[in-house]
Chain A
Amino acid sequence: MTKRYQSITNKIAPVSALILLVALWAAICGFGAIPAYMLPSPAAVAKAFVSDFPTLMFHSRVTLSEAAAGLGAGILAAFITASFMNRFSVLYNALYPLLVISQTIPTVAIAPILVMWMGFGMAPKIALVVLTTFFPITVGMLDGYRSADADSVSLLRSMGANNFKIFRYIYLPSSMSHFFAGLKISASYSIVGAVIAEWLGGFEGLGVYMTRVRKAYQFDKMFAVIILIIIISLLLMLAVKLIRNAVMPWERKGAVRN
């Protein structure tokens, strides 16, 4: 009971802040402080969201597939890279600086190059999502592998476990919480990555639609797309949280105090 009560009171502050912000926005527009063609009112945005809904859904399906494909490939690549880097310290020393450097390349700069190389289809979008999601998961998993307890490894070795079993029963589970921390970040990056790639060339997707309405100065529709992207990102992060809870049930069990 108290826990439930607490979870409600914990939400009061963020929800009020959000309501306050929207009210402030509505007030600024209502008093005409900023002209409607520059900043549409919340009501206008909501109206655009509803009237545009079928178009928005069509484009989000495209963006989501790019993000999902890129995130999936990113996870796979990160898992393989991190596992090998953990197993062979030469690889770790060789690749770690490159990983960090790759993260400093601005996405907006690399996206047009990818479009030039791969054309206007889905390929450059997926590639950009892979590039942006790969890093947080790789670094997360590497930290996770390194957090594995050396004594537990000795214990399994004393049981006669081979390297694969030590990986399966010690390293992999030890990296889980770090993996999900990285995945949470990557999940939100994946949508933004796909949208940015779409800006720079393409035929469909939320990014393409966004450029289109911006060029037509339909800022209410533009804001509707932004809000949709926020909602999709939050839902993805929620999905990651739910998967994490299902995969790591021990995290939700209370500890005994001795």
Chain B
Amino acid sequence: MNTSADSVLSAENIGISFDSVKIIENVSIRLGKNEIVSLLGQSGTGKTTLFNVLSGLYTPDSGRVYLRAEDITGKPGKISYMLQKDLLLPYMTVLDNTALPLIIKGEKKKEAREKAASLFSKFGLDGCEKKYPQQLSGGMRQRAALLRTYLSSQGTALLDEPFSALDALTKSAMHKWYLEIMSEIELSTIFITHDIDEAILLSDRIYIMSGKPGRITDEINVRGNKDDPEGFLLSREFLEYKRLIKQKL
């Protein structure tokens, strides 16, 4: 199991308030290398606020955020962040959208495009390079957004409800695809979800966040079967996890 020694990302005692209302308090989390961790909780418990702190968009009132040994509190650009909407820019082709983080980091346009294009088939985006985001289906847009997130990260990503906007069928296909792609690329991920099934299916570990101000109230290790997500979904263990989580939420 992960110890804090091999954490790629860790946050210690994070607290932040807006207009003197405490949103989150004393939140500590860590993320191991290539681990998938989910942050599960009801709306309004400060999950997105925590992400904004981790990504450096907000500076917390208390606590620090570390990427490996580096203190990145309040410093954006270190961890990639996929916001709730896919946020593909409508005026750029899919290729330019995915290459954008590299261009922002100062790479030459041509090299950035080549680097992004080389990953299109791995992400199931063949033939979409010259299309505009509005010409893609919801699932494809999400793949493109994930590729962009992957390209803007140096191995660490935050995903805010990555699949919540998709219909049920597309969602389950995306779950399967997501597990496949995650086994092929190196990406340590924390994702936010409201969906208990999704959390159990995809994560190695689940943080449960609740209360006002939001705190981490529980942590559950999941030993799932990522090679056979469909079998795992119908298994007895899966239901056990679900029962456990429902008690704690």
Contact = CB atoms under 8 A, between A and B. Distances in A.
A228 interface: no
Interface stretch (B25-33, B134-142, B182-190, B194-202): B134-142
Given A154-B57, A258-B137, A159 B101 contact: yes
Contact of A156 (B52, B104, B131, B167): B104
Contact of A250 (B76, B90, B105): B90
Interface string B73-117: 000111111011101011110000000110011000000000000
B214 interface: no
- Main secondary structure on B side of the interface with A: loop
Interface residues of A, number: 23
Contact of A159 (B52, B77, B167): B77
Given A151-B87, A158-B80, A256 B56 contact: no
Contact of B100 (A151, A169, A176, A256): A169
Nearest to B56: A158
A155 B83 contact: yes
B65 to A, nearest CB: 13
A165 B104 CA distance: 7
Contact of B104 (A154, A160, A250): A160
B137 to A, nearest CB: 6
A159 B91 contact: no
B116 to A, nearest CB: 14
B161 to A, nearest CB: 13
Interface in A241-258: 248, 250, 253-256, 258
Interface string B43-62: 00000000010011100000
14 contacts: A151-B87, A154-B57, A155-B83, A157-B76, A158-B77, A158-B81, A159-B105, A161-B104, A169-B100, A248-B91, A253-B131, A253-B132, A254-B134, A258-B167
Interface of A: 149, 151-152, 154-161, 165, 169-170, 173, 176, 248, 250, 253-256, 258
